Amino acid sequence: MQANKSGIEHAEIKRLRLFNHHNTDVRMIFRDWNPSLHIATAAAGIEDRQVLNMFDYFQDTLAMPQQALHVDDISFGVPHVRYEDDAAQNRYLVTAQNGQLVARVNYRGADRQVWSTELFDGYNNLYRVDNYDARGFKTLVQYYTPDNKVGTEAWLDRQGQVVLETFHKYDMQQEWQQAGWRLRDRRDGKTYQFDTIEHLTLHFLDDVNAEFWSNERPNVFILDRAHIADWGFLHLKKPAYTAFHLHNSQAGNAQEPLHSILNNNYEFSMNAIDGYDCVISATQRQTNDVEARFHPHTKLFTIPVGIVPDSLLNAPRIPVKDRQFGKMVVFARVAWEKHLDDLCRAIAIVKKAVPEVSLDIYGYADSSDNYRARRAVEAVIKENQLEDTVTLKGYTTNIDEIENQAMMYGLTSRMEGFNLAIMEAISHGLISFSYDVNYGPNEIVQDGVNGNVVPYEDYQEMARDIIKVLKNPQLAQKYSTGAYDSSERYSEANVWQDWTNLLADAKRVWPAKLAAAGLEA
């Protein structure tokens, strides 16, 4: 979970709040080491008691007080060191009295809190990097080899003792790889060896399952990022109710879901689909396609990942005449799969008929292939002289204010798993235009009701539909009213009922799962 969140993180946060509102005990489980995790979760309104990170769990640092750590709080074992502020690089250069470089101390933020120190030996070789958690304590020590590679990584508990290590060495192809993990478990006093992080993850999941175990009801695990624990959930020591959640297309080509190669993120889980107790899709169309292609024996549930809060459903509706005429917005990563250059092409056509049209793109740019997607957008802007029409606004959380002022929402994705942003758009009364793309947009947008769905990759048709709306105030108001009305499908009550059905299924099958494991209810 980063500061700039993707749709999956937003969906997880919405689900957490829904479960909290209905007094259902819930945790968010994180596998990867992230020294800024608790800053990001706190900013999202998630309490530490609901955060279970694997590294924190073994380090006994799940709940730690927040404290500031600055360069003068760190001892380097060398008397009378000097500090030179290299502000351009956000670091201090620490030297001994003879000018020898002792360390580089990297800091962040206006208060210059330390996040890592790079330590050098007497020959100016980097030999160790100490990493600090954003809460103000040393969490990971990385030891470097003479050829400047990370050889061993050691995670520390709150007393500064090593509890978890991973090692690196060359494989048969002479690639520098992780070669194993060692855990000194503080709870049972044993030392465990693991070949891969997947085996370590399974050990962690078994511990969590055991910690919250009850014969009276199952632990329900929802797998949101398949590669993190897809194998682990198939090998738990004790039974649990495991739900594999599809947040994107299961097919590599979402427009050919029954025949194209599988999405590599989901390939393992789709081939092991009956090993999970259920599969969750965000739309009925995806559920139907999973059923048609895989014929699974496991239960299939359709549960929207988006929730429109009652406060928004009951908020005053803003008529089209009070909105900025011609203003279209989109909230999306500027990434290849979002195909925003096509949206810009549509706007270029619209501008010739309706000069007042404008497009604001909110979202951070994907750095893949040297920012390929952003460069494609910028090329269309330049080619069509749209510098005063299309604006790249960057990432924002100020969605309500922006969408209450805009008139339209555009989406030209190559693939989707649901698209929270377009659901939020209709809940604010925005008229939506989307490609007929799987999955989500072609269900959330109802053609002729709250906007228009056009053939896949037909930005010319999208442009024609936008022009029709902009030239017909009555049609625009009809679609805006339809948008408000259709958002009721994603009310808290409706989505909670979907989750209630899944939890009821978990309870229903629990006695049989216990019996199959040789346990008694």
Beta bridge partners of 421: none
pLDDT at 73: 94
**Mind listing the pLDDT tens digit for each residue in 214-225?**
999 999 999 999
Residues 79 and 106 in one domain: yes
Residues 325 and 463 in one domain: yes
Q: How many domains does the chain have?
A: 3
Pair 134, 36: CB distance under 8 Å: yes
* Gap between the Cα atoms of 507 and 155, Å rounded: 38
**Residues of the domain holding 514:** 213-307+493-521
Asked whether residue 39 is assigned to any structural domain, the reply reads no
Residues 430 and 503 in one domain: no
Give long-range contacts, CB 8 A cutoff, 24+ apart: 166-170. Answer: 166/197
**Mind listing the pLDDT tens digit for each residue in 4-36?**
788 899 899 999 999 999 999 999 999 999 999
Residues 347 and 443 in one domain: yes
Nearest to 438 by CA among 302, 252, 276, 239: 252
Residues 419 and 474 in one domain: yes
Residue whose token pair is 């928004």: 312
pLDDT at 15: 96
The distance in angstroms from the start CA to the end CA of the chain is 36
Asked whether residue 510 is assigned to any structural domain, the reply reads yes
Q: Is 123 exposed, middle or buried (0-12, 13-18, 19+ CB in 10 A)?
A: exposed
Residues 135 and 152 in one domain: yes
The DSSP code for 334 is: B
Question: 3-state SS string over 55-122?
Answer: HHHHHCCCCCCCCCCCHHHCCCCCCCCEEEEEHHHCEEEEECCCCCEEEEEEEECCCCEEEEEEEECC
Residues 472 and 356 in one domain: yes
Residues 104 and 132 in one domain: yes
Asked whether residue 336 is assigned to any structural domain, the reply reads yes
Asked whether residue 40 is assigned to any structural domain, the reply reads no
pLDDT at 176: 94
Q: Please report, for the domain that includes residue 190, its CATH number.
A: 3.90.930
Pair 486, 466: CB distance under 8 Å: no
Asked whether residue 5 is assigned to any structural domain, the reply reads no
Q: Which residues contact 288 (CB under 8 A, 6 or more apart)?
A: none
Nearest to 154 by CA among 134, 172, 168: 168
Asked whether residue 238 is assigned to any structural domain, the reply reads yes
Residues 161 and 228 in one domain: no
Q: Which residues contact 43 (CB under 8 A, 6 or more apart)?
A: 3
Q: Which residues contact 8 (CB under 8 A, 6 or more apart)?
A: 224, 225, 247
* Gap between the Cα atoms of 479 and 344, Å rounded: 22
Asked whether residue 502 is assigned to any structural domain, the reply reads yes
pLDDT at 236: 97
Residues 89 and 131 in one domain: yes
Pair 409, 431: CB distance under 8 Å: yes
Query: Identity (one letter) of the amino acid at 374?
Result: R
Q: Please report, for the domain that includes residue 507, its CATH number.
A: 3.40.50.2000
* Gap between the Cα atoms of 47 and 35, Å rounded: 16
> How many Cα neighbours within 13 Å face the side chain of 381?
17
Residues 322 and 423 in one domain: yes
Residues 459 and 316 in one domain: yes
Nearest to 453 by CA among 479, 474, 427, 428: 479
Residue whose token pair is 């799969």: 337
Per-run averaged pLDDT (10 residues), the chain, 521 residues: 84 95 96 95 94 97 93 93 95 95 94 96 95 97 95 96 96 92 92 97 97 95 95 97 96 94 96 98 96 97 94 96 98 94 98 98 93 97 97 91 97 90 96 95 95 97 98 98 96 97 98 92 66
Alpha-carbon 105 to chain mean position: 30
Asked whether residue 207 is assigned to any structural domain, the reply reads no
Q: Where are the beta strands (DSSP E) in 431-502?
A: 431-435, 451-454
pLDDT at 521: 66
